[in-house]
């Protein structure tokens, strides 16, 4: 049986998605793969026969180490919704045709819940067509931390570390002038508030961190929001608010929709969320007549590998490796997951799980972790997040800047 594998990256990148790619590469190499191919821009590129031989880029251990520390998706990514077999049988025939051409026995896709739909559909198709010589496996990824079953997702810890750190630093800057200022920071995560919740990590004996934190799990009420700011302003001149890009008002509209007339929508039907902080800062400015400063972390929060969590980098590598091992043992239609064995001390294990329980499912922050009338998160939430941001993963610095690997 051939042992050629192919791996692709899909969806929004993270600071450690390349560490999982390195784990897949290393696992496949150690377990005797003959060829290790990488899809250019995920399944979209594969359909167009765009792929590389990864061994040409990863010649030695040092290249693998640099890959682990390089942010964003080395192979390029895509947001491509695989049509169902009923709708487009030719797409499936084409994928199998390309895989056969390369004599692929194992297909790996690193992505979030949307991307896992690709694994779900391809593994189902293979089962129905009795294609037993190609396995289809998923490697988890997303800063949003919204994947079901797994304890957390690769990429979340590093983004959370960046957010906790930056909110802490901002909380120093926003108090520097003796004037009234409301700083509003917008954080990614779409419909799940995990990342926004990580703003709470900034609070400690040397920092107030964020005063108010708004997650998308709760309906956003403008009157209550202004009243809360008023309340904080009674005790301090400067207010720091963390808000999710995905907060919605009672009518189901994103707050940022009010500020944008034509929002882009991707192939999964997700609106491109941006502008929440600016929209809220405008309302606050006219209501209180004070200075406001909207800050959108945007893509910086998912590519800040200079402040990546070592725990995250290592786990991302491990789960990639684990999925390859499982595939080589004959598993298909499964996704790598993390299982938290204990919290103090933090012990984590990897496993694999049925893709049907993970694809297209969004895991949100538990209701009872959102406290203070929907403006902060509980100690339990902090206990869950703290182990994930531990440890420093420094880039290899060359001429004072991080060294990256690219195609
Ligand atoms: O899915 C990860 C994510 O980073 C979300 O938090 C965010 O809403 C989205 O991607 C942004 O996607 P894009 O960069 O494609 O606009």
Residue 224 belongs to a domain:
yes
Q: Mark whether 162 and 297 lie in a shared domain.
A: yes
Distance 229 CA to ligand 1 centre (A): 28
Q: For residue 262, is it within any domain?
A: yes
201 lies in the same domain as 293:
yes
Q: Single out the residue in 257, 274, 301 at which a domain terminates.
A: 301
Instruction: Find where tokens 């009420």 sit.
Output: 221
Task: Tell me the C-alpha to C-alpha distance, in Å, between residue 27 and each of 24, 78, 152, 310.
Answer: 5, 24, 22, 20
Q: What are phi and psi of 299, to 5 degrees?
A: -75, -10
Please indicate, yes or no, if residue 367 is contained in any of the structural domains: no
Number of helical H runs and strand E runs in the chain = 12, 15
Centroid of ligand 1 to alpha carbon of 12 (angstroms): 5
pLDDT at 261 (0 to 100): 67
Per-residue pLDDT of the chain (407 residues; tens, 9 = 90+): 678 999 999 999 999 999 999 999 999 999 999 999 999 999 999 999 999 999 999 999 999 999 999 999 999 999 999 999 999 999 999 999 999 999 999 999 999 999 999 999 999 999 999 999 999 999 999 999 999 999 999 999 999 999 999 999 999 999 898 999 999 999 999 999 999 999 999 999 999 999 999 999 999 999 999 999 999 999 999 999 999 999 999 999 999 987 776 778 888 888 888 999 999 999 999 999 999 999 999 999 999 999 999 999 999 999 999 999 999 999 999 999 999 999 999 999 999 999 999 999 999 999 999 999 999 999 999 999 999 999 999 999 999 999 999 99
Supply the pLDDT for residue 173.
Answer: 94
Q: Are residues 137 and 35 in the same domain?
A: yes
Is residue 227 included in any domain, yes or no? yes
Residue 210 falls inside a structural domain: yes
Question: 291: domain range?
Answer: 157-301
Q: What is the distance in A from the centroid of ligand 1 to the CA of 297?
A: 12
Choosing from 190, 268, 273 the residue with most ligand 1 atoms within 8 A of its CB, the one to mutate for a pocket test is: 190
Catalytic residue, chosen from 114, 117, 144, 146, is 144
Residue with tokens 């108010």: 212
Q: What is the spatial distance between Cα 139 and Cα 112, in angstroms, rounded to a whole number? A: 8
Looking from the CA of residue 14, the nearest atom of ligand 1 is: 4
R_g of the chain computed on alpha carbons: 22
Q: 221 and 352 share a domain?
A: no
Question: Which atom of ligand 1 approaches the CA of 274 most closely?
Answer: 8
- Peptide bond before residue 30 is cis, with ω within 30 degrees of 0: no
- CATH number reported for the structural domain that contains residue 286 in this entry: 3.40.50.460
- Do 193 and 285 lie in one domain? The reply is yes
| 214 and 348 fall within a common domain | no
Residue after which a domain boundary falls, among 255, 274, 301: 301
As for how many domains the chain has, the answer is 2
* Backbone torsion region of residue 268, taken as left when φ is above 0, otherwise alpha when ψ lies between -120 and 50, otherwise beta: alpha
Task: Report the CATH number at residue 23.
Answer: 3.40.50.450
Whether residue 79 is found in the same domain as residue 44? yes
pLDDT at residue 268 in the model: 84
My answer on whether 345 and 262 are in the same domain is no
Whether 264 and 347 share a structural domain: no
In a domain, 60, yes or no: yes
pLDDT attached to residue 1: 65
Of the three residues 250, 266, 301, the one that is the final residue of a domain is: 301
CA–centroid distance, 188 to ligand 1, in Å, is: 7
Identify whether 144 is a catalytic site residue: yes
CA distance 259 to 246: 13
Q: Which atom of ligand 1 is nearest to the CA of 190?
A: 8
Of all protein residues, whose CA lies closest to atom 15 belonging to ligand 1? 12
Question: Do 125 and 18 share a domain, yes or no?
Answer: yes
- Separation CA 62–CA 52 (nearest Å): 19
Which atom of ligand 1 is found nearest the CA of 189? 6
112, 244: one domain? no
The answer to whether position 171 is within a domain reads yes
The predicted pLDDT at position 23 comes to 98
Asked whether residue 311 is domain-assigned, the answer is: yes
Contact 152, 337 (CB under 8 A): no
Q: Do 183 and 278 fall within a single domain?
A: yes
């Amino acid at each position: 049986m051939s042992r050629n594998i192919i791996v692709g990256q899909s969806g929004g990148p993270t600071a450690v998605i390349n560490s999982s790619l390195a784990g897949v590469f290393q696992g496949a190499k150690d377990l005797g793969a003959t060829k290790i191919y990488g899809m250019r821009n995920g399944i979209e590129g594969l359909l167009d026969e765009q792929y590389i031989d990864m061994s040409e880029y990863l010649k030695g251990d040092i290249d693998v180490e640099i890959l682990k520390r390089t942010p964003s998706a080395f192979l390029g990514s895509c947001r491509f919704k695989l049509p169902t077999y009923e709708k487009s049988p030719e797409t499936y025939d084409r994928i199998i045709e390309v895989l056969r051409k390369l004599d692929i026995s194992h297909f790996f896709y690193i992505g979030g819940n949307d991307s896992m739909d690709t694994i779900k559909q391809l593994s189902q198709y293979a089962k129905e067509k009795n294609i037993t010589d190609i396995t289809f496996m998923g490697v988890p990824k997303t800063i949003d931390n919204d994947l079901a079953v797994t304890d957390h997702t690769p990429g979340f810890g590093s983004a959370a570390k960046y957010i906790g750190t930056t909110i802490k630093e901002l909380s120093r800057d926003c108090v520097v002038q003796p004037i009234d200022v409301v700083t509003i920071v917008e954080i990614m995560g779409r419909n799940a508030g995990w990342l926004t919740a990580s703003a709470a990590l900034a609070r400690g004996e040397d920092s107030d961190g964020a005063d108010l934190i708004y997650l998308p799990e709760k309906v956003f009420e403008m009157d209550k929001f202004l009243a809360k700011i008023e309340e904080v302003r009674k005790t301090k001149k400067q207010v720091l608010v963390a808000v999710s890009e995905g907060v919605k008002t009672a009518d189901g509209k994103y707050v940022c929709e009010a500020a944008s007339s034509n929002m882009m929508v991707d192939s999964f039907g997700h609106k491109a969320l941006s502008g929440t902080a600016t929209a809220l800062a405008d309302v606050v400015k006219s209501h209180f007549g004070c200075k406001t400063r909207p800050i959108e972390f945007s893509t910086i929060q998912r590519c800040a590998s200079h402040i990546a969590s070592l725990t995250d980098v290592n786990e991302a590598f491990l789960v990639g490796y684990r999925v390859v091992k499982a595939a080589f043992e004959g598993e298909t239609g499964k996704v790598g997951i993390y299982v938290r064995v204990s919290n103090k001390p933090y012990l984590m294990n990897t496993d694999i799980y049925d893709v049907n329980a993970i694809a297209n499912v969004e895991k949100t922050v538990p209701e009872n972790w959102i406290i203070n009338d929907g403006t902060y998160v509980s100690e339990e939430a902090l206990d869950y997040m703290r182990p994930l941001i531990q440890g420093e993963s420094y880039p290899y610095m060359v001429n004072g800047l991080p060294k990256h690997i690219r195609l």
